[in-house]
Amino acid sequence: MSGIEIAGLALGAIPVILEAIQGYRNTYDRIQEFKQATKQLQILDAQFRVCRLNFLSECRLLLHLVLSDPQLSQEMITDTRHSLWQDVTVETQLSALLRGDLKACATIVADTTATIRSFDRRLTKLQISPNNLGGTLQRARISAAFVIEKSRFEKDIVTLRKRNADLNLLRIHFSSTDNPHPSSRAVTQNTREEIENFGTIRLASGLLHDTLKTAWSCSDATHMRHWVKLRVDSPKPRNKSVKLDLAVSSDMITPRRASTPTVWLYVQSESIHGQDQATHAAQQASVQSLVHNLQQSVESNLPSPLVSKMSSDLKTAQIECDLSNTVDLCKVNCVCSHLQCQSMAHVSQQTERCIGYLESMRNSRYLIYGPLPPGHAASSQGPLTTHDNITTLKDIIGQPSTSRLQLLHQYQLALRMARSVLQFHNTAWLPSVWKIEDLSVVGSNITDQSLSTLHLSTSFERATSTSAGGQALGGATKTATGATAATTPVDACCQRLSPAVYNESLFCLGIVLLEIAHCRTFEDMRQGDPDEFYAAHRIVRGPPPLGPKYRKIVERCLRCDFGAGSEDLEDAELQRAVWSKVVYPLEALVRDISA
C-alpha cells in the first residue's frame, strides 16, 4: 500500500481524489509547454489527454452519486479550490456510498497519482527548454532522450488506462445499485448552515422592523417622516445572535442651520430565540448591530433629512448594560429628541454608555449606545462631507459613466443582490415585487467603499404624539429614494407580475442582474415591451456582457429553474437550490476575477 493510499484512508477518499486531479492538471500543463518539440511528444500529449478526460469523467460521475447535482459535481472537478472539497458532509456521504469498497477506491486513485508522478519525472528528464523548441540540435537531443524513455512512457499510459477502467467498473457497480445515501436532494453541511444563517438574519431584521414601527414615537413637529436604512452585509450569526447595521434619519419640515453637528449612535440588539422563557434566558446573546449616524444636512427651500452614515467595521465586543438605570424608549414621548440630547451630552466621553433601549412584544430588546468613542471604526471616518449623499442603484446604473463599471464591481454587486433576496425576501425591507431602486449606497458611484454601504430602506410616517410609549407609525412602501410610503390595495394589485412568473422575488432578482450586466435600466432595455416577462427573456437571449455562466444564473432566476420541488422561497429546498446555483456561482466569479 502506497503512502498516498494510507493518507487517503486516514483522511477519507476525497483528499486522494483531489490530489489525483491536481496531479493530472499539473502534468498536463507541463506537456502543453513542450509538445511542439517533437511529433512523439504530440502523440504522447493526445494519449495523456484522453486518460485525464476519462479520469475526470469518472470522478464527476462518482461525485454525482453523492451530490445528486450535475452542476455542483462539474464545478468541483473544474475548481480544485471549491469549498465542497473541504466539506465533511461530502466525505461522509462518499464513505457511506463506498462502504466496504472505500479501500479499493483509494487504492485505484492512489496508484493513478503515483503513476502521474512517475510520468512527470520522466518529462523532467527530457530537459526541454521552452525557449528553444525550434532548434535542430535541441529537437534531435529531445528525440534521442524520448527514445530512451519511450517504453516507460507507454507503460505509464497503459497503467493509467487500466486504473480508469477499474474506477469505471467500481462506479458502474454503485450506479446500478439502490443508494439510500444520500437523498436525491443531498445537502452539504456548509449549505445547510448558510441557509440557517439567512433565516436567522431574516427573522431578526423582521423583528427589528416591527419594533421600530410600533414602539418609535416622535413629538418633534419638524419631523415629517423617519427613514430606517438596513445594510445588506451581515456577518454570520453566532448562537442565534445577529449583527445588523442601521441608520435612522428624518425628513424635516424646515431647513436646518449649517452648523448642526453629526450625531453618532451605536445600538446593540438582543434577539431572544427559543420555545419558552427558560430557554430565552439561557440564550440571551447580544445581536451586535445597528449603527445610527444621525446627521442633519441643509438644503435650501427643501425638507432636510437627518442623514445617517453606516459603519461597516463595528466592533463586536460584548457589552453589558444595567437596564435598571437605562431609559425605556417605549415610554419616552419623543425618541428622536431623547437620542439627540443624550448623544450631544456624552459626545466627549471616551466610553460607551447605554442611553436607552426598546423592547418588542416578541422577546427582542435593542440597546442604544452613544456616541462611539474616539478610535472606533465609525468615528475614525471623520465627519460627513457633501459627498456622503444617498444614491439609489437605479440612478447610478442610469448614469452614462456607469457603462464603464469595473467587472469585479458588477460581480460583487450581483452577489450582494442574491444574498439580499435570501436574507430579506418578503419582509418590510424587501417585498416580493422589488426593483433596483429599492437599494441605495452612500456615494454617487460604485466603488469598494460605496458597495460596503449598500442598504435597503423603509420609512414610517410621522405619528402625532399621544401617550408615552408612542403610537404605531404608518404603513410603508418604497419611494424613489429607497424610502417607503403608504400602500393601497390598488397599488398592490398593479404591482403583480405576469402569470408566467413562478416566483416574483427571484424574477425581480433576474431583472436586477440583467441591469447590472448591461449597465442599463430595465425600462431602457425593454424598448416599450408591455410584458416584463417576455422582455426579460428577449434581453437574456442576447449577447451576454458578463459571460455564459452569468447568463445561466440570470436564466435560472427568471424561470425559477432550480430543479427544486417547490417554487416558494419560504421552502428550505428552494433556498438551498438558490444558494448552490446562484450565490455560490457568483462567489466563484468574484473569486476568479479577484485572483
Distance separating alpha carbons of residues 195 and 185, to the nearest angstrom:
15
Higher pLDDT, 164 or 317: 164
Q: In Å, how far from its chain's centre is CA 219?
A: 40
Alpha-carbon distance 89 to 12, whole Å? 11
Q: Quote the DSSP letter at residue 238.
A: B
d(CA 589, CA 506): 20
Which range scores top for mean pLDDT: 281-290, 328-337, 474-483, 561-570?
561-570
The overall pTM is greater than 0.75: no
Strands 246-252 and 223-231: antiparallel
Sort 484 into a burial class: Cβ within 10 Å, 0-12 / 13-18 / 19+: buried
Question: What is the per-residue pLDDT across 256-266, written as a single tens digit (0 to 9) for each?
Answer: 543 333 344 55
Q: Omega into 371 within 30° of 0, i.e. cis?
A: yes
What are the beta bridge partners of residue 266?
291, 369
- Residue 289 CB neighbour total at 10 angstroms: 28
Give CA–CA dist 395/350, Å, rounded: 40
534-573: pLDDT as tens digits: 899 999 998 888 888 899 999 999 999 988 888 899 998 8
In angstroms, the CA 465 to CA 220 distance is 8
Task: Find the mean pLDDT for residues 227-243.
Answer: 77
- Whose cell is 418578503? That residue is 426
Confidence label for 343 from pLDDT (cuts 50, 70 and 90): low
The three grid cell numbers given for residue 595, joined into one nine-digit string: 485572483
- pLDDT for the residue numbered 529: 80
- For the chain, the C-alpha Rg in angstroms (whole number) is 30
